Amino acid sequence: MKPTLFVLAAGMGSRYGGLKQLDGVGPNGETIMDYSIYDAVNAGFGKLVFVIRKSFEDDFKEIIVKKYEDKIPVELVYQELDKLPPGFTPHPDRVKPWGTNHAVMMGKGVINEPFAVINADDFYGCESFGVMADYLSKLGDSKNRYCMVGYRVGNTLSESGTVARGVCETDSEGNLTGVVERTQVKRVDGKVSYQDGDQWVAIDDNTPVSMNLWGFTPDYFDYSDDYFVTFLKENAENLKAEFFIPLLVNHLIVNGKVSVKVLDSTSKWFGVTYADDRPGVVAKLQALVDKGEYPSPLW
């Protein structure tokens, strides 16, 4: 069974400005997403599903979707503020989407096989897609056996500002025991640190973090539906609260519902979190092309 690649592309790039998912950073105008999809197709993924906002559907179809329709089946689903369980309506002052796990929930009914979740604007590396595809392709119809690719936090920072990272802990068998979303991570006095209240807490450079490269089976959608109701009840008046993937994953692990294998990868992550990150990303992609790791043009 070939897994599906589920691409989270609904964010509007508030820190970077504009639709960073559509920004051409490769030598021939390729987006970061183009490289991820190229790697995923070569790794054996069998379908693409994008979650986007309806407001930029036409641009997305013209710039992104038409590239892939003759290479791999493609579907679109939509994340909107008002896509909530019965009995809930968004606060009239809320403008921000409900977060990454709400975006994942939009795939229910479209994805019926093991699937990987990625961010549209992150470069994950070909090895990461290889180990993910290998794991997912062996799951079949099993349930409650998930996975993620762990990256070393020291290799995932931006020189332009703080980043959000899911900081992970694992057991002796390489299973995830907990993940906490840290929304402010950067180097402080040379050490990787996250902000906790008024304090900066240092962590080891090799601490595994989630870069939102997760592997799930379709039962994850039902868990999401159930826990989203709890989340909404607890955060009805919090205009900035987000339903992060690590929030649900941690809940399921703590309650003994699932196991999550942390897959090791030597791939280096990079991405455009801030506009100042862009030149570095352009240079890194050009270097990979120069080394022959990717063709140019990509497709």
pLDDT of 13 > 50? The answer is no
Q: Considering the domain boundaries, does residue 157 fall inside one?
A: no
For residue 267, the 8-state DSSP code is P
Q: Considering the domain boundaries, does residue 296 fall inside one?
A: no
Q: How far, in Å, CA of 281 to CA of 270, rounded?
A: 7
15-62: per-residue pLDDT in tens? 444 554 567 899 999 989 899 999 999 999 999 999 998 888 887 888
Q: Considering the domain boundaries, does residue 227 fall inside one?
A: yes
Domain that holds residue 71: 4-149+210-246+272-290
Q: For the whole model, what pTM was predicted?
A: 0.88
Q: Considering the domain boundaries, does residue 74 fall inside one?
A: yes
Q: What is the mean pLDDT of the chain?
A: 90
Percent of the chain at pLDDT exceeding 70: 96
Question: Which pLDDT does position 19 carry in this prediction?
Answer: 55
CATH number, residue 118: 3.90.550.10
pLDDT of 93 > 80? The answer is yes
- Give yes or no for a contact between 281 and 271, defined as CB atoms under 8 angstroms apart: yes
Q: How far, in Å, CA of 75 to CA of 54, rounded?
A: 13
121-156: per-residue pLDDT in tens? 889 999 999 999 999 999 999 999 999 999 889 888
Burial class (CB in 10 A: 0-12, 13-18, 19+), 151: buried
pLDDT of 173 > 90? The answer is yes
Q: How far, in Å, CA of 81 to CA of 54, rounded?
A: 11
Q: How many CA atoms lie within 13 A of 13 on its CB side?
A: 19
Q: Considering the domain boundaries, does residue 230 fall inside one?
A: yes
- Give yes or no for a contact between 149 and 39, defined as CB atoms under 8 angstroms apart: no
223-238: per-residue pLDDT in tens? 999 999 999 999 978 8
Structurally, how many domains does the chain consist of?
1
Q: Do β-strands 4-8 and 47-52 pair in parallel, antiparallel, or remain unpaired?
A: parallel
Q: Considering the domain boundaries, does residue 257 fall inside one?
A: no
Q: Considering the domain boundaries, does residue 13 fall inside one?
A: yes
Question: Which pLDDT does position 297 carry in this prediction?
Answer: 93
Q: Considering the domain boundaries, does residue 263 fall inside one?
A: no
Q: How far, in Å, CA of 86 to CA of 224, rounded?
A: 15
Mean pLDDT within 175-197 = 92
